[in-house]
Chain A
């Protein structure tokens, strides 16, 4: 029963990984850039929530009402002021600039908040659970995280394929020259995509911080988990990314059952195996 329980919990953690991944997938889809600081922004949002909660006493989930708009605004400004200037055929500038940002965010957080690990207290839902079967308890918080991931993916899917801004995202991604002939200012469209990405990052950060401890240097591994979920699921497919997150979560859970030291290793190995046998991911967009 331990095994089944471990796998069920792994599926639920997969929702969190999907939250790490969708923002990454979104901006790669629109701007063809990979933000190395993505994981650090997740952690920065966790700290932002931490400060807001300390000042106001709000519940972590309520604090999202403040964290999301601030993160989105920062995302928009970051894109329009800095990242837009690095876009071009050469992949080096955006990679290196976001890599620099990653180091700055980590060490900035260290300066402000120290290296102590923190956690957001979410009250009763944090520890509460209901039994699904004998030996399998579903925690309210992990379940809520997973459902949030489903809602976020469905929401992004809707925005991308059913709204005017989503049309703009796809058009700019398809052909950034012709899109201007439609009256689109690519720089602003990119800014909006990053704002949307950071809204998801804020959600990911707060959920991460309610379920586990966090410290300033946790960002890079969140980036890696998100990246692995994207590649496993298949580039450009948001539902695939959710499946990718679940596969990663289950792989880690299985690894942890074997030996606690194998938890992360098992996740990475699952990723490498899929890269070896199906480099385009399980559900590549083109195959639909």
Chain B
């Protein structure tokens, strides 16, 4: 007698609370102050960036430190569309994705030629090329940048409060949407292929999984989504300049720290990491560079002591999974097999962690 299921009690509870939470968050413009709306919007931006980078590095093994290329690109797309075409800024979000996708595919052709570790720096070079390139474009303000005229913003909505709410809802959509899409992607055939790649590239290529195609697909999808986030970020900021748009610290370093501290290669990790980042920031932001040193030190510590991060540690300890991507086989006939502890065999998710742990214990 056995029954195959993905859900656990914890995951059903998590789903129910997530729905309630998203509904409460969606109503934030009606209950929150302008300041809290902005903070929530910023949290959503980082939730999206962290989930996306985690999909890239944690699940696909493409450790990019050049994602700021697409954040800045999305931002400049917003300014191009608003200023030269005079369209509603919100339209820039999907358009940024549509333009970023083919460009990122071209970039991939180049950077995929670099071996894993050098790939990281290669992506950084590309981001530098983007930064220096946009700094040369005088129509977009050159090196000193430009502001979004208020007339353009009025295209979106006439009052400031309405605009703030619209921008916030877009952020909420991107934040929750990124998490949902990563989750659904991992449950799909692509997720299966990613697990196979992570466990063994040789084995997965013999299974007929086209490693390069899956990697390319993920890289392009993440770049497109990151560009959408970029368009939104600079709608919040209303001002863009090359150094801020393509900042490795703001758009990649913080994101990496969030993901590593929260738990790389887990869906829950980036969420935990993002929240922790904002909590820490409340206490340490005044210290500026000290805050960065603390975050960097914390990330190194996590990588060395508990490489699966806070979430990996918690999940291993209590067998929790809020986003079950693997299957669980409930074994009813073989209680002796797992010492009667928990009457189920945790499938892929657990296997993931076992592989990762075995790798690191060596």
Contacts and interface: CB of A to CB of B under 8 A. Distances in A.
A102 B249 CA distance: 11
Nearest to B198: A90
Interface string A82-111: 100110111111111101111110111011
A103 B292 contact: yes
A28 B117 contact: yes
Contact of B65 (A36, A90, A271): A36
Nearest to B120: A95
A89 B355 CA distance: 12
B133 interface: yes
B253 A32 contact: no
B293 A36 contact: no
A215 interface: no
B311 interface: no
Given A92-B57, A272-B110, A223 B121 contact: yes
A268 B121 contact: no
Interface in B123-161: 124-126, 128-129, 132-133, 135-136, 143
A29 B296 CA distance: 26
State the majority secondary structure of interface residues on B: helix
8 contacts: A28-B117, A34-B120, A92-B307, A96-B300, A224-B124, A261-B136, A272-B129, A276-B110
Nearest to B291: A107
A246 interface: no
Given A93-B360, A100-B257, A110-B289, A228 B117 contact: no
B300 A100 contact: yes
A42 interface: no
B303 A227 contact: no
B264 interface: yes
A21 to B, nearest CB: 12
Nearest to B58: A92
Interface residues of A, number: 47
State the majority secondary structure of interface residues on A: helix
Contacts of A89: 359, 362
A245 interface: no
A100 B297 contact: yes
A104 B297 CA distance: 7
A91 B290 contact: no
A103 B249 contact: yes
B135 A261 contact: yes
A261 B122 CA distance: 21
Interface in A97-148: 97, 99-104, 106-108, 110-111
Interface of A: 28, 32-34, 36, 82, 85-86, 88-97, 99-104, 106-108, 110-111, 220-221, 223-224, 227-228, 231, 261-262, 264-265, 268-269, 271-272, 275-276, 279
Contacts of B125: 224, 227-228, 268, 271-272
A264 B253 contact: no
Nearest to B124: A224
Contacts of B120: 34, 36, 95
Contacts of A88: 359-360, 362
A276 B111 CA distance: 9
Nearest to A38: B121
A99 B252 CA distance: 11
B244 to A, nearest CB: 14
B276 to A, nearest CB: 15
B299 interface: yes
Nearest to B292: A107
4 closest cross-chain pairs (CB), A and B: A107-B289, A34-B117, A279-B113, A100-B296
Contacts of B296: 100-104, 107
Contacts of B297: 100, 104
- Which one of B61, B121, B257 has the greatest number of beta carbons of chain A within 10 Å? B121
Given A93-B360, A95-B120, A220-B248, A107 B129 contact: no
A223 B124 CA distance: 10
Nearest to A262: B136
B116 interface: yes
A82 B264 CA distance: 20
Contacts of A264: 128, 132
Contacts of A275: 110, 113-114, 122
B118 interface: yes
Nearest to A108: B293
B118 A34 contact: yes
B304 A86 contact: yes
Contacts of A28: 117-118
A99 B289 contact: no
Interface string B242-259: 000000110001001100
A93 B307 contact: yes
Contacts of A261: 132, 135-136, 143
A92 B63 CA distance: 7
Interface string B104-118: 000001100110111
B295 interface: yes
Given A86-B303, A224-B125, A264-B128, 10 more contacts: A82-B304, A89-B362, A95-B63, A96-B63, A96-B264, A96-B303, A103-B253, A107-B296, A110-B289, A272-B126
A259 to B, nearest CB: 8
